[in-house]
Chain A
């Protein structure tokens, strides 16, 4: 018996000695990036989702690290998204959920759990099981920001305070000749909405909800612009929308138009099935006022 125990320890020591010589993985540092590329982060969240505020904070951290380069939209959907009804003192004022958010979630193939995020509607790892991935997927932001922008997006908003009518003009200018199946997406989001939220292990009153998806200006799959845009060509799309009456939310001063261009020839494939969303080439945002 002794010799087998001896052999076992020799094997064990062999493993340890082997591991001592190993070169370590060095976690890279965050790098400053000079780029005109603007990325889109879509965050599927809910007021009853305890880990979702962590994701929001991570997105804010990225926005601060890469100022002006990150545009985000928070979709509140059914899973952990129904309004808080208990405890009474934390009862929700608003129901942030929208049919569009739920439909987008379905189009993007669901997720394993919330928070679920997507960066430019792209699968960043060949192993990724879902397009709506964990927050770690946002770490690919540097790769996205380092890619050269193909287009420039300019948004001009005209908002009439009296009629609450928004007229929005979005210009897409190609920086090089590009081919694909280009769709323009435009949505309205709202910042600074104060309402209850589950944050980790506690409820929070007057939690500040930012980038909340409020309405679609374009079709849910975007509006088709064409399959080829030549260098310096400018395509203009106009949208009009009447904001509902302000009732604690729909505050025009806090609303933004978010626009992004996607290419439907670059669809992510999940489990062998191609999802009907396109890779986001560029994003932009501008306040209504």
Chain B
């Protein structure tokens, strides 16, 4: 099998290189033509460079980057082309000594084409080939997306066709393999999605209400290498953990709808997955670890989001129940690798340094969660936000609680003040896999004051304090940001572990940062000295361990 696979890869590589050459020639020709024609080239560059300075006191040590490589860089350069109904794009990815994919001491170096695509609209038919980002509904059965800070880029390498059945109804289908770094996983993923829009035909009722229903199905077929890996684990299982058979194919289905009526909008989605082998390291009954971590089960998700917005009042109520809905291209893949789907998070996305320190990662095996978000604008000068998140496992064991209250006050044109407080109860055992640790209970007051000295100059002060007895103990954070429009921004900050936990650290560490930003039109440069505490970084409930950092960071971002 290995030989045939290598042969396949070889033939495939030759074909790919031929294609790439053709692609580059085509893009070059198109570029020349576009100088005279209506074609448009756009793109973006993102480059993050790190220079490492070892600091054992904050655990910024013991990896190749700190010990001898001393430097790392991650870069992405996109170039896209559009002309009429034709579109094409290519992205060069470069990683030098990167710890992005493996924060536990890994070092990854490679440069190559990380993404390319071509597409054409032919009347009602849209075709696209290459690396494709897409999703069905809210992503519960399928989402191919890129989230660089989390090292997620699970684009589908394949073909997608979409057809407009009517102006309001569309069907699309896709097939391919999931991307990982410069390769793909072996599993075939295929799917279909029908979406529509229904509103009253009576012109008197037009705009009063509408429906946006949809249906989707996604199938994954295991390749032989994954079956070998699974069998190698499962053949030693016995007793109640025993799994003797499973299927090559797993199917996931979803049905969803958005009802909009006046100030109300109600989204509801239900999904089902056929029995599948999943990695489930925690027993659902009492949250203790399993000796044999793979289970076979069918899965369900129910998700709803109801929102109301009128006269300065906005209310959003979300609820979700998840059971056995881990859907990966290969169940043996760990961490953020191989996700086929995405389940919406049930907690606020916090932006301030300390309020964002503890984030609840979406639990794919079992979760019962609700969130309410209320915003009210009293007048042009004052508004209030109250958010509450409540997440349990399926046995009603608490996983996460958050109460977040924030007031925005603009007393005059020169000052903007945001003040608030956050209270969290965070199950560190479940979210970070730590043992014998209590729930982290925090109270975090914060204030953010922006003062405009003139049209060009402004100072922003952000101050917050996290009061907690658990984990590292209590923190204070202060940031001063001075801006001179349109080019310069200077920030100085420090995060200080003033009431530290002696079990975690020997002394009260400071984590200072000094960063200079320079903007020149679409170009943005930054250079700074940064010390950063280890933690969990999350986006939309998907999280990644971010190791401690000590050193110099430089970034370049531009669009064209």
Contact = CB atoms under 8 A, between A and B. Distances in A.
Interface of A: 1, 4-5, 7-8, 11-12, 15-16, 19, 22-30, 50-51, 54, 57-58, 61, 78-79, 85-87, 105-106, 109-113, 125-127, 134-140, 198, 200-203, 271-273
B196 A126 contact: no
Interface in B208-235: 213, 215, 217, 219, 222, 225, 227-235
A112 B235 contact: no
B192 interface: yes
A34 B260 CA distance: 69
B2 interface: yes
Contacts of B110: 271-272
Interface residues of B, number: 63
Contact of A19 (B231, B249, B334): B249
Contact of A8 (B5, B109, B194, B291): B194
30 contacts: A1-B196, A4-B165, A4-B169, A7-B194, A12-B253, A25-B222, A25-B230, A27-B244, A27-B245, A30-B235, A50-B289, A50-B433, A86-B503, A112-B104, A112-B334, A126-B2, A126-B5, A126-B225, A127-B186, A135-B233, A136-B232, A139-B232, A139-B235, A198-B435, A200-B288, A200-B289, A200-B435, A271-B108, A271-B110, A273-B109
Contact of A136 (B196, B217, B233, B248): B233
Contacts of B274: 19
Contacts of A22: 247-249
Contact of B247 (A5, A24, A27, A28): A24
Closest 8 CB pairs of A and B: A139-B232, A8-B215, A136-B233, A200-B289, A86-B503, A24-B245, A110-B105, A27-B234
Contacts of A19: 247, 249, 251, 274
Contacts of B20: none
B412 interface: no
Interface string B239-257: 0000111111101010100
Contact of B435 (A4, A110, A136, A201): A201
A203 B246 CA distance: 36
Contacts of B172: none
Contact of B235 (A27, A54, A134): A27
B289 A125 contact: no
Given A24-B245, A127-B186, A113 B104 contact: yes
Interface string B262-306: 000000000000100000010000011101000000000000000
B435 A1 contact: no
Contacts of A30: 235-236
Contact of B194 (A4, A15, A200): A4
Contacts of B435: 50, 198, 200-203
B332 A134 contact: yes
A58 B236 contact: yes
B227 A139 contact: no
B472 to A, nearest CB: 14
Given A4-B165, A27-B234, A140-B232, A201 B244 contact: no
B231 A28 contact: yes
B14 interface: no
Given A25-B227, A200-B435, 19 more contacts: A4-B165, A4-B196, A11-B194, A19-B249, A22-B247, A25-B231, A26-B245, A27-B243, A50-B433, A51-B289, A61-B236, A110-B106, A112-B102, A127-B185, A139-B235, A198-B435, A200-B289, A201-B289, A201-B435
Contacts of B109: 271, 273
Contacts of B330: 127
A110 B102 contact: yes
Contact of A202 (B2, B194, B230, B436): B436
Nearest to A102: B62
